[in-house]
Copies of this chain bind each other. A is one copy, B any other.
């Protein structure tokens, strides 16, 4: 029984890695779509989003199966409930990258000023997603914490983009529309960073049992609750 469970946890890990790879790909393609005005890359990003949606359903089904059939406790339970939370953020990563791709296809490809910090944002968010999944798989607490800290870099880059774009708009107000679209894209990247941070916070929770947002709240966190409930049932 126990070995079968470990095997299934391993399958869960592999599925999460695959979903993580899809997320990295979708961000990379979305970035390419708008940086190089590449409509093929945009289409590819949008199609990857559908794959990510399907992957979410598959992993969700697997997690629920593990919860119901195996009724895991403590660390195993935390790992599965973290996985359930992480895939929600990964699914949103797909949505947002797909939105970036869509906006890109509607932007005119005429050459405007380059906004370098947006390029940096795309690189930074890909790094964050990759490392948050790595941290989960390797149970690497420090790496998860690094991802969380790194979100400040993305937030600072967004502020840079925002200020740079406001300057550009003042200088060439006739191109305001283009720069406003760029700002929206930067905002999507900022949110991609937030989602990677959320993933990393669930990794911290799966390893330590402590979640930032659950601190200071009453003892009603789902996992606490489930742990108690299932422990009780095992005793009965």
Contacts and interface: CB of A to CB of B under 8 A. Distances in A.
Interface of A: 53-54, 57-58, 60-61, 64-65, 67-69, 71, 88, 162, 165-166, 169-170, 173-174, 176-177, 180, 183-184, 187, 213-214, 217-218, 220-222, 225-226, 229-230
Contacts of A217: 53-54, 57
The 4 closest A-B pairs by CB, nearest first: A61-B225, A170-B173, A173-B173, A166-B176
Nearest to A60: B222
Interface residue SS majority, chain A: helix
Nearest to A174: B170
29 contacts: A53-B213, A53-B217, A54-B217, A54-B220, A57-B214, A57-B217, A57-B221, A57-B222, A60-B222, A61-B220, A61-B222, A61-B225, A65-B225, A65-B229, A68-B68, A68-B71, A68-B229, A69-B229, A88-B88, A165-B180, A166-B176, A166-B177, A169-B169, A170-B173, A170-B176, A173-B173, A180-B180, A180-B183, A184-B187
A62 to B, nearest CB: 9
Contact of A169 (B58, B64, B173, B222): B173
B166 A54 contact: no
